[in-house]
Structure 1
Amino acid sequence: MDAGWVALLGASVTAIAAVGAAATSGWLMHRQVRTVARAEHRRERAGPREEAYEDFLQTALVIQDYLAVIYDENFRSRYIDSELAERVCHAYYRMYGQRAKLLLVGPPAVSQAAESMVDDMASLELYIRVFRQAPVPALFRRMWQRLDDLVNHTQEFIGAARLALDEESGPDPLNG
């Protein structure tokens, strides 16, 4: 081989390597831009979800605080006055209205836990209205059980909401 062929072969190898490096660099840059865009999209989606979860949870905790005052340390009912009944009722309707947003932002585990909490509250609200008219001990026990169910379903909701928010802010499962 003479020097001309060696120079031509060297130039060809260099050109192929340069094209390969440019293509690899472009592909890596595209992947990085896509990863950054996905992360930004996740952050934008997490904001409304977190707000919906927080509003719903705050309402549930207020209801639980309201209901805690009707029990003394021996788990006997105190008198449920009309003001307390109305506050619980108003908070329940607020919770019921917030449910729609949770059904939209999901995911299913959070929505199911929220539905269970709303069902518990529907029963509690009815029991409170009836109990005010006729304070029957059996009804009080049912109220107590539903309040316990509400507390347990609230914990399920918190766990599902944390998991959903962690999944949104965690690493992209497609890109590791």
Structure 2
Amino acid sequence: MADMDSGIAAVLGALAGSVATIGAALATGWAQREGARIAARSEHRRERREPRHAVYRDLMEAATTFHHRIAIYKYADVGMREDLQLRVEDIPALRQNKERVNKSAIEVALVGPKGVSEASMKLSKWSEEAYTYVSALTDLHPSQAADEQIWRFTTQGAADATKRCGHALEEFALLAQAALDDDGSRK
């Protein structure tokens, strides 16, 4: 009986060793696959982050320049007639800047993510509207008192659109920063 017990013990010992070796091999394989998956995901995020950063920066630069050019309209008062009018020669530069905002917003919409894309399109919309009102003011001459209602409407529209453009720029900046900081651990 002692021989049988020692034989069974030897077989059970060998079996336990085999199971432990197989378990260790499975755990090592899983850990290696998990490590490779994490590394691949990290590389993918880095590859997506770099182009996003450049595209987001382009939109921020264009929108900030545009907003600075029209910032006076945020405080528009219908009594500031001469002060609020852009010179006609300033309109082409403002139009170019607005078009750069629109183009950059489309680029941002393509690289995402969704919240940043939506914010970029909102920024584009308010930049377009602000441009429309501000450029319309150049067509209204201070001496035309008969068009006072049109002047008031256009001045208020320019003020409102300029404020919304500024808010959209702030919203975009916050969402872009969050998207660039996202390491994938938040869901």
TM-score (norm 1): 0.86
How big is each residue's C-alpha offset from its partner over 1:52-74, in whole Å with a ceiling of 9 and x where there is no partner? Answer: 11111110000011113567898
- Secondary structure of the residue aligned to 2:125 is helix
* Counterpart code for 1:113: A
C-alpha spacing 1:152/1:51, structure 2 compared with 1 (3 Å):
same
Picking from 14, 19, 35, the partner of 1:11 is 14
- Secondary structure of the residue aligned to 1:133 is coil
Partner of 1:146: 161
Q: Partners in 2 of 1:142 and 1:21 — Cα distance?
A: 71
TM-score (norm 2): 0.81
Partner of 1:97: 103
Q: Does 1:51 align with 2:54?
A: yes
C-alpha spacing 1:145/1:170, structure 2 compared with 1 (3 Å):
same
Partner of 2:145: none
Q: Partners in 2 of 1:15 and 1:109 — Cα distance?
A: 53
Q: CA RMSD in A?
A: 2.3
**Size of the alignment, in residue pairs?**
172
**Which runs of 5 or more residues in structure 2 are unaligned?**
142-150
**Which runs of 5 or more residues in structure 1 are unaligned?**
none
| Identity across matched positions, percent | 26
Q: Does 1:37 align with 2:43?
A: no
Q: Partners in 2 of 1:121 and 1:65 — Cα distance?
A: 12
**More off after superposition, 126-135 vs 72-81:** 72-81
Q: What is the Cα deviation at residue 79 of structure 1?
A: 3.6
* Counterpart code for 2:168: H
Q: What is the Cα deviation at residue 34 of structure 1?
A: 0.6
Partner of 2:139: 133
Q: What is the Cα deviation at residue 162 of structure 1?
A: 2.2
Q: Partners in 2 of 1:73 and 1:126 — Cα distance?
A: 15
Q: What is the Cα deviation at residue 38 of structure 1?
A: 0.5
Picking from 68, 79, 83, the partner of 1:65 is 68
Picking from 86, 91, 98, the partner of 1:85 is 91
C-alpha spacing 1:71/1:153, structure 2 compared with 1 (3 Å):
closer
How big is each residue's C-alpha offset from its partner over 1:82-102, in whole Å with a ceiling of 9 and x where there is no partner? Answer: 342222110111111122212
Q: Partners in 2 of 1:148 and 1:73 — Cα distance?
A: 10
Q: Which aligned runs of 4 or more in structure 1 are off by greater than 3 angstroms?
A: 69-79
Greater radius of gyration (CA): 2
Picking from 28, 39, 46, the partner of 1:25 is 28
Q: Partners in 2 of 1:162 and 1:170 — Cα distance?
A: 14
Partner of 2:185: 171
